[in-house]
Structure 1
Amino acid sequence: MRNLFRIAVFICLTAMLCSCASVSMVDTWRNPSLRGEGIRKVLVVGFSPKQSSRVVYEDTLVSELSSHGVEGVASYSVNQGNALPDWYALDRAVRRVGAQAVLTVQTIKVERQTTVQPSAVATPYPGYWYPPAFPDWDFPGYYRSMAAYGPTYVTTYDIATMQVNLFDARSDKLLWAGTIEATEPEKVTRVGKELASKVVKALRKEGVF
């Protein structure tokens, strides 16, 4: 019974891990020619065809920035309408709010991945052809041979590659860039929170804030 319990726990944990979105920072780059220190106000722009996703990414980044003493301004709160503003409108927004930098986030691509968890193979006890051995069957032997059995699990999920850029508002040059991979990108709220945490942590490590 103990082996069966362990197998059940393993299956449940595997299912839970597969159902959770996760975000990882794949690579970062810092412009060596720009200092970019002491930035205290940032305009956050989320590039997404879905307005709801754009709002989530901008709000979570603004919230994370604020928790570290940096004022963030969501672009959707500055520009009217659901569509992303053109460059000139965005430039006016930067000047209007007095932002020192512009932080952008965009999904570059989404790929479908499949993983296969092989089953544990168990040989039927005492063999495949039971009649000759039937008198010799006992429960301990049967249990030990079958307790490790488990079905094959196939999991399909999406991985999104996302690009996060920080531009210096004065020179318009790229100050910092980060590449992020996120599983289950459709779970926008969870991905947005993890992304914001990792991005701001990386920027603080670089001494930008």
Structure 2
Amino acid sequence: MKKLFLLSLIVLFGCSSAEMVDNWKNPDIVIFDASKVLLVGMTQNEDARVDFESRLKKEFDVRGVESVRSVDVFDVAFTNSKRTEKELDAFEQQLLDKDFDAILLTKIVGSETKQPLRKTIAQLYREGDGFKEDYRRNQDIYYDEEYYERYTIYHAETSLYCICVDKERSLIWRGNIDLLDPEDIEKTVEDYVDLIITAMEEQDLIFRGEKKGGLTGS
């Protein structure tokens, strides 16, 4: 069940299962503060949605920023059918009336299947090898079905919106994050949340943190 989560929420590289591919920050914004943030993980899997939003809320709590999970705000009727722009305007006004000033929205926007060689270039080629050495070392290609491995990369996107009175639905920041078809869903979710929080800290978005350089890309 939880693997469904990442078809609607999740990525990899190195020791972490999530990697920031690129991100964009509104050039008019230097520092963005928010006092109450709605956390939205868009997925059909209710358990996965609760898990993701709860982990994210925990990070907000320890940093002293008030946040609310969408599972505590959206009713079943709201997510079971498409909402019109007028309905979303009304919902946004309800959030404003309840002192919300930002929304952090996360969703899976696509996926692709990769098929890399199981062996590295260093393993495939050695200086001074002749035909027989090369052939013998790589003859598994003919019959080993696992010589080429398949894995799925999920392309996720997290966006921070200001819902301030004079800047309705203004995009403050957007991060594109890749997730490798994960074995450990809980770790992937944890890595994803850590990456979001770190990126926001580095760019003075809601949180303040030490500048670590290089993590958030362009």
TM-score range, shorter chain: 0.5 to 0.7
Cα distance change of structure 1 residues 111 and 203 upon mapping to structure 2, 3 Å threshold:
same
Gaps spanning 5+ residues in structure 2: where? 1-11, 125-139, 207-218
Deviation, structure 1 residue 28: 1.1
2:32 aligns with one of 33, 37, 50 = 37
- Report whether the alignment pairs 1:76 with 2:77: no
Query: 1:50 maps to which residue?
Result: 45
Deviation, structure 1 residue 194: 1.1
Query: 2:201 maps to which residue?
Result: 204
Query: 2:149 maps to which residue?
Result: 155
The answer as to whether partners of 1:45 and 1:104 remain within 8 angstroms in 2 is yes
In 1, Cα distance between equivalents of 2:190 and 2:98: 24
Query: 1:175 maps to which residue?
Result: 172
Query: 1:98 maps to which residue?
Result: 99
**Number of residue equivalences:** 166
CA RMSD of superposed structures (Å): 3.2
Query: 1:192 maps to which residue?
Result: 189
Deviation, structure 1 residue 163: 0.8
In 1, Cα distance between equivalents of 2:61 and 2:94: 19
Query: 1:62 maps to which residue?
Result: 57
Deviation, structure 1 residue 178: 0.4
The answer as to whether partners of 1:21 and 1:183 remain within 8 angstroms in 2 is no
Give the letter for the 2:203 counterpart. Answer: E
Deviation, structure 1 residue 195: 1.1
Taking only the aligned residue pairs, the percentage that are identical comes to 24
In 1, Cα distance between equivalents of 2:93 and 2:27: 28
The answer as to whether partners of 1:56 and 1:188 remain within 8 angstroms in 2 is no
The answer as to whether partners of 1:36 and 1:175 remain within 8 angstroms in 2 is no
Deviation, structure 1 residue 153: 4.3
Deviation, structure 1 residue 200: 1.1
Cα distance change of structure 1 residues 196 and 93 upon mapping to structure 2, 3 Å threshold:
farther
In 2, Cα distance between equivalents of 1:101 and 1:190: 27
State the structure with more CA Rg. Answer: 1
Query: 1:109 maps to which residue?
Result: 110
**Higher strand fraction (1 or 2):** 1
Query: 1:164 maps to which residue?
Result: 158
Cα distance change of structure 1 residues 62 and 89 upon mapping to structure 2, 3 Å threshold:
farther
SS of the residue corresponding to residue 190 of structure 1 reads helix
Gaps spanning 5+ residues in structure 1: where? 1-16, 122-149
In 2, Cα distance between equivalents of 1:90 and 1:183: 34
The ranges of structure 1 where at least 4 consecutive aligned residues each deviate by more than 3 angstroms after the TM superposition are 118-121, 150-154, 185-188
In 2, Cα distance between equivalents of 1:205 and 1:94: 27
Q: Name which of structure 1's ranges 69-78 and 88-97 shifts more when overlaid on structure 2.
A: 88-97
